[in-house]
Structure 1
Amino acid sequence: MAIRIKLAELMGKHKYNQLKVATETGIRPATVSLYYHETIKRIEIEHLNKLCKLFNCQVGDLLEYVDENQ
């Protein structure tokens, strides 16, 4: 079981790079990189709010539950 972070997909769809996401949201570039590479250990609600606002999306567009047993 895992939570998948789909930031890279949204960035590709909107043609944003990591620096643009960091600049537009105020999230540190290193943190954006952790979300992008799906290596972040703790997800901040504030970051979800900022990312949803930037991409005009719902939380479900950013996060996905994947059952690894299937």
Structure 2
Amino acid sequence: MKQNDPKNLRRSALRLIVGLTPPENRAGVWTFAQYTNMLVPLGVINDSWKKRARSISERISSPGQFTNIED
């Protein structure tokens, strides 16, 4: 992701998606490279869920060198 997203636009993209997602839907936030990391568990979207997802967006980084989506 360092090459694909050098400006870390995925952080602001998450905040945009969180803002646009209607309440009472269900969502979760995960990052993945070699392993999957759950940042926000699957849950019903409410103000608390949105606040958590927005705050966690700053923790999104590029620790993995490769993305393994085939296994």
- TM-score band, normalised by the shorter chain? under 0.3
Q: TM-score, normalised by structure 1?
A: 0.24
Greater RCO, CA 8 A, separation 6+:
1
Q: TM-score, normalised by structure 2?
A: 0.24
**More strand, by proportion:** 2
Larger Cα-atom Rg: 2
**More helix, by proportion:** 1
